[in-house]
Amino acid sequence: MADQVTAFSEPGVVEKAQQELDQHIRHHFAQISALQTRRNALAPISRLPPEVLSRVFLCLVLSDSYSVRWTREISHVCRQWRAVALEFPWVWSYPSFRHLDWAEEMLERSKSALLTIKFHEVYTPPRMIDLLTRALSQVSRLGELDFDVKDRLAQLGLLVNMTDPAPFLHTLHLEATGHYGGPLSLPATFLGGDTPRLRRVDLTGFAIAWDSPLLRNLTRLRVVHFARQESTLSMTMKELLDALDHMPLLESLELKNILPPIAVQARPRVLLAHLESLELADNVEECCGILSQMTYPSSAKVHVACFGEKASSCHPIFSACNIAGRSPRSLEIGMTHSRVIVRLWMRTVDFQGTAFRDSALEISASWRLPSNDGNESTFLLICQTLPLNNLRALSFLSDSHGISTAAWIASTVPNLPKLRAIKVVGSPVGFLKSLGEDVVVSGVKQTPAIAAVVRKSVERRVSRRNQAGAAAVTGGLFFPALRHLCLCGMNFEEATLEQFGEAIMERCHWNQELFSLTLQRCEHLTEEDVRGLKEIVSSVEWDGLEIGFTDSEEEEEEEYNADYDYGDYHHYMFDNYYDDYDSDFDYM
C-alpha cells in the first residue's frame, strides 16, 4: 500500500503509509543490529570472559580518571561491551567531579563497589559540593581518598564530619594547598580512628597526632609542612619514634619540616627492615637526630635536605647518613657559596645522558653564612669520608673558585684508581691543574705512586700526539684511568687554555691520554682553539659557541673569521594542553 501513496494522497493515507514504512525500517535495523552482534562475537577479543574484559576497562579508566573520554571508548562501542561495563560496578567507582552529570551517574552505577575519590578542583559550585558531600558520606565504601582542601571553611568541614569508621580505606592523601597560615589539624574523631586496612598516608599541610590509630601498620608515610613552625611542633622525638615502631612494614618514609627537637632519651633504635625510600627535610640537628635513632637496610634510597648556620654545622649530616658505608660507582657534587648537593649511585651513570633522579643517596646541605673555606672543608670531608676506590664517574658543579689544587689532590686523587669519566661544570682551576704533571702543593711537586697505566691497543683513531706502543714508565699522573672528560662553562682564558693543553699533552706522554673531550658553553674558546685540542685528543665534541669575549675581542674575531657563519641556537618549550571533552551524556 505504501508504494502507491504519494505526497499528494489524503493526509490520513500518508500518515498510515509513514507508520508502515517506519515499522519496516525498525525491522531492518533490528536485523542489521543482530548481524553486527553476531559478527562482533567472532572477533578475537570476544574470547575474553566478561570478568577479564571489565579489568581491561578499568585499566583504561585509571589511565585518565579525571576525564570521561573512556565512557565512549568502552560503553559506546557495542552492546556486549556496554552490558559488561554496566554489569561490573567497579568500572564506575572513580567519579570525575569535573563532569557533574557523569559524577552523579557514576555514583549510581558504582552501586556498592569501593570508591576512589580524587578531588583537586579550584572552582567548586554548590552542585559539586553536594555531590562531593554525597560521596564522602559513604565512608564505609571508601577505598582511596585524595582530597585537596583549598577552601578551609567549606571543604575542611567535610573532613571534620567524617567520623564513621572506614573499614576498607587503604590510601589517604590530604593536601591543604589553599591555606598557608600553618598546618590544618585533623581531629581525633576523623574516620572514627578505625581504619584497619589503611596502608598509605600522605599529608601535605596537615598535622596529625603521632599516637593516632590511623598511623598503624603503614607501608608508606608522608607528612610535609610548607615551612617549619616551632609553634606547631608539639610532639616529641619519642612520640615520633614510638609511631614508627608501630610501622614495622614501612617501605617509604618522607618527613619535611616536622621533625621535633632533639631530646636525649635512652631507647632502642627503630628497626625499619623493609624501608626502601627515606626522605627528610629540616634543620640539620633534627635530621641527624632522627637518623641516629633509626636502623634501615643499606639498599634504601636516602634523600636528605638540611639547613644549618654555617658549613661546619652541616658536616654531621654526612656521618649520620653513613656515607662511609657506601662504595659508589658514580658521584655528583654540586657546590655554591652556601649549599652543597651530593648524589651517589651504586652503578655507572652517564652524566651527559638524560635526567636521572634515582640516586641511592642524595644530601643537600644549606647554610646561612657563606664562605669559601666552608666549601673547601666540606669538599674535603665528603671525598675523604666516601670510599672512592670503585668510583667510575664523577660530576662536579661549582659556581665558585673556592676549591684549591691542594684540595683536589689531597681529597680525591689518591682514592680514584678506576675513575674513567669526569664532568666539570664551572671553572675550578684547581681541577685543571691536577690533570697535569707539574702539580705543586706548598712548594712540593706532587707525583702519585701509582704506576702509569699501559694502554692496550683498541680499534679507534689515534691522535697525532699519542706515541703508540710506548713502554711503561715509573710514576704517572693523577686520575690514571681517566679517559672521558666533559667541561661545561669553563672559562678558557689564555693562561688556562695553555695550562689545559699542556696537561692533556702530558697524559699522552705518560700513555694516559684522553679518549674523548666534550666542551659545552665554554668561555674564551674559539674554533681555532678547538682545532688545536683536536690534534691532542682523538675525539672532541664542541657546541660551537664562542662566548665571553669583550666587544673589541669579538670585533677582532669577526674580522679574522669573516666568512664563518655561526648558527643560532634556539630552545623550545612545549607546554601540555588539556583538550576539553564534552561527553555524550544523552547516550546513557
Domain around 538:
439-548
Q: Give the relative orientation of helices 237-245 and 284-291 as an angle to the nearest 10 degrees.
A: 40
Give me 153's grid cell: 571553611
Residue 73 lies in a domain: no
Calpha distance 113→123 (Å, rounded): 28
**What pLDDT is stored for residue 279 in this prediction?**
96
pTM: 0.77
Residue 197 lies in a domain: no
343 neighbors 302 (Cβ within 8 angstroms): no
**Residue 526 CB partners (closer than 8 Å, separation 6+):** 546, 557, 561
Residue 29 lies in a domain: yes
Half-sphere exposure of 364 (CA within 13 A, CB side): 8
Residue 474 lies in a domain: yes
Q: Which residue has the cell 689531597?
A: 410
Give me 146's grid cell: 585524595
CA 367 to chain centre: 24
**What pLDDT is stored for residue 153 in this prediction?**
56
From first to last of its 588 residues, the chain has per-residue pLDDT tens of 567 778 888 888 888 888 888 898 999 988 888 888 788 778 777 778 888 888 888 888 877 767 777 887 787 778 788 888 888 888 888 888 888 888 898 899 999 999 999 988 887 888 988 899 999 999 999 999 998 887 665 667 788 889 999 999 999 999 987 666 678 888 889 999 899 999 999 999 888 889 999 999 999 999 998 887 765 566 788 889 999 999 999 999 999 999 988 765 678 899 999 999 999 999 999 999 999 999 999 889 999 999 998 888 888 998 888 887 888 999 998 888 888 899 999 888 888 665 556 788 999 999 887 766 677 788 888 888 888 888 999 998 876 555 666 666 656 656 678 889 999 888 776 677 778 765 555 556 655 654 444 444 334 444 444 444 333 333 467 788 899 999 998 888 866 888 888 888 888 888 888 999 999 999 999 999 999 999 999 999 999 999 888 765 555 445 444 443 433 323 222 233 223 323 333 333
Residue 292 lies in a domain: no
Residue 467 lies in a domain: yes
CA 358 to chain centre: 8
Residue 565, burial from CB neighbour count under 10 angstroms (0-12, 13-18, 19+): exposed
Comparing CA positions, the residue from 67, 56, 77 lying closest to residue 118 is 67
Residue 470 lies in a domain: yes
Helix intervals (H) in 41-125: 50-63, 69-75, 79-87, 100-109
Give me 82's grid cell: 556496554
Comparing CA positions, the residue from 394, 378, 489 lying closest to residue 434 is 394
483 neighbors 514 (Cβ within 8 angstroms): yes
**What pLDDT is stored for residue 408 in this prediction?**
64
Comparing CA positions, the residue from 435, 442, 511 lying closest to residue 473 is 511
Of all helices (H) and strands (E), which one includes residue 26? helix 11-40
Total number of domains in the chain = 2
**What pLDDT is stored for residue 272 in this prediction?**
95
**What pLDDT is stored for residue 533 in this prediction?**
93
**What pLDDT is stored for residue 215 in this prediction?**
93
Residue 483 lies in a domain: yes
